[in-house]
Amino acid sequence: MNENDIRQILEQVKAGGMSVEEAGQLLHMGRYEEMGYAKLDTSRKARTGFGEVVFCSGKTDDHLAAIYERLYEKEGEVLGTRATKEQFQLIHSRFPQTSYDPVSRILKIQSRAKELKGNVAVCTAGTADIPVAEEAAQTAEFFGAYVERIYDVGVSGIHRLLNRMDTIQKANCVVAVAGMEGALASVIGGMVSRPVIAVPTSVGYGANLHGLSALLTMINSCANGIAVVNIDNGYGAGYLATQMNRLAVGGNENG
């Protein structure tokens, strides 16, 4: 956005043709920080309520370190996904407050404790699905949602799920993480009054096709109120769950 664009927006506000809120949104649309190898979306939080998140996999050490440094300088916190232990050591050497979870591969700098609001239930069919579930749960927590973890309640022993339904039904939304045939989301979807976010995982034997079978099951679910994210996309599920949770608690700000 150049100076002429900004001037036109301000003139429309002055003339009464545009509200201050509308002008603010337009001004935020064009802001980013050029780093050559990356364009940091520094206005994303103002537009969407969520700051930019770093996908760590595949980034060079120099690029990753510089991106974390710049985002921390702007936001005071940084969330990264799919990080390695070596990348944690790199960032930790520069920011000692950095934390890393080898299960979810979440790499974050978080300087303050947050008040966690609402209620998001994250459920898994099996223990092997926990890494994806933790990516979802920790993403939601980073963005201010309270998360209830309910693991290993798959349909092969459905009594385990039924024993936890009172807790699940209290959530503002439910994340159902499952590999194999991916039936967990359909079962939960038929038993709760809240939205269900289905996450297929690549857990399973050959005919699971690295999560494709679970994905197709979830997309073809006959239960209502189910949204499906990509295979192993815990981050996407945690983000969407946070949006739903914020609507439920009546807030838009990062907690």
pLDDT digits (tens, 9 = 90+) for 47-74: 778 888 999 999 999 999 999 999 998 8
Number of other residues whose CB lies within 10 A of the CB of residue 217: 20
Distances (CA, A) of 214 to 136, 198, 220, 230: 17, 10, 10, 10
Could you state, in order of their start, the residue ranges of all structural domains in the chain?
29-110, 117-249
117-249 in CATH: which number? Answer: 3.40.50.1970
pLDDT digits (tens, 9 = 90+) for 95-125: 999 999 999 999 999 877 888 999 999 999 9
pLDDT digits (tens, 9 = 90+) for 75-98: 889 999 999 999 999 999 999 999
